[in-house]
């Protein structure tokens, strides 16, 4: 990942300091921001994006998840704990199934990020949050055209830092995290749509 080393180090430090809830919500936010990618993945093995109105004979399958709301219930009740993690695991399974038919790089990263841990404990959650962070950065870097330190990937890196800071602050942090993550989701959807139109 060709992004500023100092910024990546800051992000790693924040992940290392985060508590269980911060890690879980940060991971969920990264995964949720990337779900719109599934609207544009080709299922015929090609490396690129297409619109959902493409000819079905071209090998394009519509997403099996509602990319607008697939993970929204988990946001609205992000209480943490084993039961919450179980509900998230079931919701993420739909993402895994949708991403499974393609080897397209960013979709493969998203599939890994949707591999929600089975235990709500710091080590497992930190591994998952780190995987989700890397997957989201990879998706944004791809939309940048795999350029070094492109604007989308750099913006996503800074967004992740801000969200972890908000989560560490407690209080109304979750509401602010949701708002900023939703804005990031709109940015990614718009970037994916522009790329699809250019193909």
Confidence of residue 126 (pLDDT cuts 50, 70, 90): very high
CA angle 34, 39, 45 (to 5 degrees): 100
Its sign, for the CA torsion 162, 163, 164, 167, is positive
pLDDT for the residue numbered 52: 37
Higher pLDDT, 38 or 170: 38
Its sign, for the CA torsion 147, 153, 155, 158, is negative
CA distances to 87, 91, 95, 97, 136 from 65, rounded to whole Å, are: 15, 9, 7, 9, 18
Q: Where are the domains of the chain?
A: 5-198
pLDDT tens digits for range 70-120: 787 787 777 788 999 998 998 888 777 776 666 666 777 888 888 899 999
pLDDT for the residue numbered 137: 93
Confirm if 155 and 140 have CB atoms less than 8 A apart.
Answer: yes
Mean pLDDT (the chain, rounded):
81
Whose CA is closest to 38, among 89, 93, 111? Answer: 111
Mean pLDDT of 28-42: 82
Question: Considering the entire predicted model, what is its pTM?
Answer: 0.85
Confirm if 37 and 48 have CB atoms less than 8 A apart.
Answer: no
pLDDT tens digits for range 136-175: 999 999 899 888 889 999 999 999 999 999 999 866 678 8
- CA pair distance 136, 156, nearest whole angstrom: 8
Higher pLDDT, 128 or 64: 128
Share of the chain above pLDDT 90, in %: 38
């Amino acid at each position: 990942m060709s992004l500023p080393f100092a910024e990546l180090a800051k992000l790693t430090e924040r992940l290392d300091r985060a508590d269980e809830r911060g890690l879980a919500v940060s991971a969920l936010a990264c995964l949720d921001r990337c779900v719109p990618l599934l609207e544009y993945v080709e299922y015929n093995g090609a490396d690129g994006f297409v619109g959902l109105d493409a000819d079905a004979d071209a090998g394009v399958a519509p997403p099996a998840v509602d990319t607008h709301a697939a993970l929204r219930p988990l946001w609205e009740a992000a209480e943490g704990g084993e039961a919450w993690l179980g509900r998230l695991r079931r919701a993420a399974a739909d993402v895994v199934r949708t991403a499974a038919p393609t080897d397209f790089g960013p979709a493969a990263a998203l599939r890994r990020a949707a591999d929600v841990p089975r235990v709500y404990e710091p080590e497992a959650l930190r591994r998952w949050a780190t995987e989700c962070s890397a997957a989201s950065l990879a998706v944004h870097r791809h939309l940048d055209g795999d350029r070094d330190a492109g604007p989308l990937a750099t913006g996503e890196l800074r967004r992740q830092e801000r969200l972890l800071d908000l989560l560490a602050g407690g209080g109304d942090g979750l509401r602010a995290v949701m708002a900023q993550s939703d804005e990031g989701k709109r940015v990614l959807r718009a970037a994916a749509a522009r790329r699809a139109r250019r193909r």
